[in-house]
Amino acid sequence: MIAQFPADFIFGAATASYQVEGAAAEDGRTPSIWDTFSHTPGKVFRGQTGDVACDHYHRYGEDIALMKQLGLDSYRFSLAWPRIKPDDGPVNAAGLAFYDKLVDELLAAGIDPAVTLYHWDLPQALEDKGGWRERDTAERFAEYAAVAAQHLGDRVKRWITLNEPFCSSILGYADGVHAPGAQEGEGALKAAHHLLLGHGLAAQRIRSAVPDAQVGITLNLASVQQVSDEPADVEAAHRSLLIGNLIFTDPVLAGKYPELGKEVWAPITDFSWIGDTDLATIAQPLDFLGVNYYFPSRPKAVAHNEPDSGKRVASDLGFESLIHDGEYLTEMGWPVDASAFTDLLIWLRDTYGDALPPIYITENGIACPDVVGDDGRVDDQDRIRYVGDHLTAVSAAMDKGVDVRGYFVWSLMDNFEWARGYQPRFGVVHVDYDTLKRTPKASFDWFRNVIATHEVS
């Protein structure tokens, strides 16, 4: 099967500030929650940190040359909030100056910058005041967004407010496996709400500063596959859809929270902290929706003992994701199912109809067992197969009427993979973490051909 994409379809690659920049204490940058978390023993694989990462802060010119060689239409990257406005104090001019240089060199190379304002690196100074549990953090985020938009908006037109608020709130404040490492009930739900409130406030500030801006949000969404007709598994599927999708898609796209959420989380909160006008603020009109997809959700009901309400975490919903015997798993332990990607995009279209804006696939990719050959190259056929199959799945959704405008592979280069450290490799460019040498993989050449021909065969 040949998947053909329109001539104006955007092909890009993505990274995130803490995962690639390094220079963690240079030019006025202060610690983020990920600096604190990664330096806490036992939180990250082998105690690894983003102190150096890929040293993109000093090597961005080399990296842009690779992007130009790849033929990218656009590069999606995030700004490090602690570089620009580390706390309630003044703006850090040196931090803005780095992004000035990065944006200018991207434009000189013919690559459109797509900026994400928040990819999880909350200033530690704000976490010390309660972090995303507090409404004030949403206000501080809007202030930071305004600074960034006023400074870069003459050159940057595509803005993403948040990346994956599910991970920031549920993995960070409920499961405790991401920064700041909290395991809470109401606190995690407050974090999710205040992230979305921050999105709405930031969207307003960006549009005020940059009237011709394209503004969106990126959500990592689940394609939920019901595993049986047993009542418990049917309910598990509903709860999986709730926590993975609906608590974010419903407020952003429909201006409401799902009724099931009020029932499921009634034991841990009364939701009295949601302001009367919050949902109207959250449901700002979007120019696009960013969708990140990696694997399907197959929720299987599991027996669990209900703890005291004060100890229950928000993610304790009585299911686990099923893995089929013998199926291929990525290095992250994730099952591969490209057809579920098509299903997810069609679900969005069917669920939200005219309220759904155009979609960009802002992340999609695979960590696989990359092996450096004797010739120094990585022949990553698993990655080529995965990306090819998932691009074909996007094309299938487009053939069925879903308005998808672009695709950003995750990632441009191997980088710090959060709590997994440097073990998983997602890049189409190999990074030697001892020397920081960059080497394009076989997937780099393959993706370059896809970009040039707008075709996957």
Over residues 15-27, the pLDDT tens digits come to: 999 999 999 999 9
Q: For residue 316, give every residue at least 6 positions away whose Cβ sits within 8 Å of its Cβ, in sequence order, or none.
A: 304, 307
pLDDT band (50, 70, 90) for residue 309? low
Which pTM was predicted? Answer: 0.98
363 is catalytic: yes
Instruction: Give the number of other CB atoms < 10 A from CB of residue 59.
Output: 17
User: What pLDDT score does 310 carry?
Assistant: 58
User: What pLDDT score does 191 carry?
Assistant: 98
Question: Kindly report the CA angle at 31 between 97 and 117, in degrees rounded to 5?
Answer: 55
* Cα 174 to chain centroid, rounded: 18
Q: What is the mean pLDDT of residues 363-378?
A: 95
Token pair recorded at residue 141 = 């985020």
pLDDT band (50, 70, 90) for residue 319? very high
From start to end of 342-399, where are the E strands? 359-363
> How far apart, in whole angstroms, are the C-alpha atoms of residue 102 and residue 61?
8
Please report where in the chains the tokens 């940058």 appear, as a residue.
Answer: 29
Please report where in the chains the tokens 């075709």 appear, as a residue.
Answer: 455
Percentage of the chain modeled with pLDDT above 70: 98
User: What pLDDT score does 170 carry?
Assistant: 98
Strands 429-431 and 438-440: antiparallel
> How far apart, in whole angstroms, are the C-alpha atoms of residue 427 and residue 329?
17
pLDDT tens for residues 80-129? Answer: 999 999 887 899 999 999 999 999 999 999 999 999 999 999 999 999 99
Q: What is the mean pLDDT of residues 442-446?
A: 98
pLDDT tens for residues 15-65? Answer: 999 999 999 999 999 999 999 999 999 999 999 999 999 999 999 999 999
Out of 134, 184, 186, 363, which one is annotated catalytic? 363
pLDDT tens for residues 236-254? Answer: 999 999 999 999 999 999 9
pLDDT of 412 > 90? The answer is yes
Q: How deeply is 303 buried, as exposed, middle or buried, from its count of CB atoms within 10 A (0-12, 13-18, 19+)?
A: exposed
User: What pLDDT score does 305 carry?
Assistant: 59
**Please, are residues 274 and 262 in contact by the beta-carbon 8 Å criterion?**
no
Q: Closest Cα to residue 75, out of 32, 2, 17?
A: 17
In this structure, which amino acid lies at residue 32? S
Instruction: Give the number of other CB atoms < 10 A from CB of residue 157.
Output: 17
Q: What is the mean pLDDT of residues 184-191?
A: 98
pLDDT of 352 > 60? The answer is yes
Bridge partners (DSSP) listed for residue 455 = 4
pLDDT band (50, 70, 90) for residue 304? low
Bridge partners (DSSP) listed for residue 301 = 319
Domains in the chain: ranges and CATH: 3-456 (3.20.20.80)
Question: What is the chain's percent helix, strand, coil content, to nearest 5?
Answer: 45, 15, 40
**Please, are residues 331 and 367 in contact by the beta-carbon 8 Å criterion?**
yes
CA distances from 454 to 142, 293, 310, 387, 451 (A): 37, 21, 53, 14, 5
Q: For residue 420, give every residue at least 6 positions away whose Cβ sits within 8 Å of its Cβ, in sequence order, or none.
A: 44, 45, 332
Q: What is the mean pLDDT of residues 328-356?
A: 98
User: What pLDDT score does 87 carry?
Assistant: 81
Q: What is the mean pLDDT of residues 142-165?
A: 98
Cis-peptide, bond into residue 411, ω within 30° of zero = yes
CA distances from 376 to 302, 371, 407, 436, 445 (A): 46, 9, 29, 14, 15
pLDDT of 439 > 60? The answer is yes
Backbone conformation region of residue 244, classed left if phi is above 0, alpha if psi is from -120 to 50, else beta = alpha
User: What pLDDT score does 27 carry?
Assistant: 97
**Please, are residues 287 and 215 in contact by the beta-carbon 8 Å criterion?**
yes
Cα torsion 334, 339, 342, 348: sign: negative
pLDDT of 70 > 90? The answer is yes
